[in-house]
Structure 1
């Protein structure tokens, strides 16, 4: 199985069920085992923190690259610093952030991998996309929805041909999948383009969907040379 860099979009809070962070950690642990690299939004809170920590592994030897705009970096402290009395406790505090007590910004830490700070959201998204071999969405909010829908649209337009997978933890994306089906039935998305979105219910299925992804027929054959990097993605 070849090494891959996987872009994961997900919430910066943990949600109302422990199953979300548990499955995020399982996926990260699987990436660590496979030697795959995680590309993500650079946060240390919520599901972002959970998958980043798990991908780094217990010995912090995993491959993780967080990409975050400067405005989202919490300047007051860094989570999991080398001189923290209890590094693991500090990490878990960050991961267990709920949506009600999340302030929008996040500390960053080497314990969650390497971090690149960029000036704006557009630079962040472009860099995340160019460094990745596939896109995965776990549960999240507006930002997660916007990011994965953009990747789906880019595939439809022929900007990239990389796998796009919804990690449907606990049926989180069932309503979205119904809406996509409704849009297909109403003639706004072709049946072929409906296959751009693959669905996985377990971490193992996420890996399987990425490995076995077949680029759907029927996508637009447009020339996006100015949008592509040197390898045509």
Structure 2
């Protein structure tokens, strides 16, 4: 593993624990000798995760759509900033540059980004780990719903277990190192309902 992508909010949220978790995640990635890949902005948790990695001397790669760069949201201190034409191109480049994916607290965009790479893993498009860093219990309600999807037969247990859940970046990075993708067929077999 060389690079870890972090998806997170462009705001700080209402609890100081979220910013602390973002800074700690960036720092842990850098201390592990890994490169941070993220959305390229200087605001909210996005800026905090980048600042955490940069403070530890880490390499930080941002990927930012031109529309957001024009609003002066780009982080000025990154190792590299890729400016792309669209959100679709942003997500594809972030996925290509990364060997694993962490979702910190965030909004709809954060969820959409993590769910997309998780779905790609379920479909066998990649074998990279992904997980929710459950800072201050932020994802508790969502995790209950994901378990219900499994329990109601919409997600196989192996596919539900693909998305890891940890409370600290160090725990998540350790889980990434030992991650093995499920060796189960990705599609419902004929005759199953």
TM-score after normalising by structure 1: 0.77
What is the SS of the residue equivalent to 1:39?
strand
Query: CA offset at residue 167 of structure 1?
Result: 0.4
- In structure 1, how many angstroms separate the alpha carbons of the residues matched to 2:24 and 2:45? 11
Given that residues 53 and 112 in structure 1 are in contact (C-alpha distance below 8 angstroms), is that contact kept between their aligned partners in structure 2? no
Query: CA offset at residue 39 of structure 1?
Result: 0.4
Which of 39, 59, 62 aligns to 2:58? It is 62
Go from structure 1 to structure 2 and tell me whether the alpha carbon gap of 1:219 and 1:164 turns closer, same or farther (over 3 Å shift): farther
Which of 180, 184, 197 aligns to 2:163? It is 197
Q: Which has the larger radius of gyration?
A: 1
Query: CA offset at residue 112 of structure 1?
Result: 3.5
In structure 1, the residue matched to 2:176 is 210
- In structure 2, how many angstroms separate the alpha carbons of the residues matched to 1:179 and 1:150? 17
* 2:128 counterpart of 1:128: no
In structure 2, the residue matched to 1:32 is 30
- In structure 1, how many angstroms separate the alpha carbons of the residues matched to 2:142 and 2:83? 31
- In structure 2, how many angstroms separate the alpha carbons of the residues matched to 1:10 and 1:74? 21
* 2:37 counterpart of 1:71: no
Go from structure 1 to structure 2 and tell me whether the alpha carbon gap of 1:66 and 1:107 turns closer, same or farther (over 3 Å shift): closer
In structure 2, the residue matched to 1:84 is none
In structure 2, the residue matched to 1:97 is none
TM-score after normalising by structure 2: 0.92
Q: How many residues align?
A: 187
User: What RMSD over aligned residues (CA atoms) do the two structures have, in Å?
Assistant: 1.4
- In structure 1, how many angstroms separate the alpha carbons of the residues matched to 2:118 and 2:35? 21
* 2:131 counterpart of 1:172: no
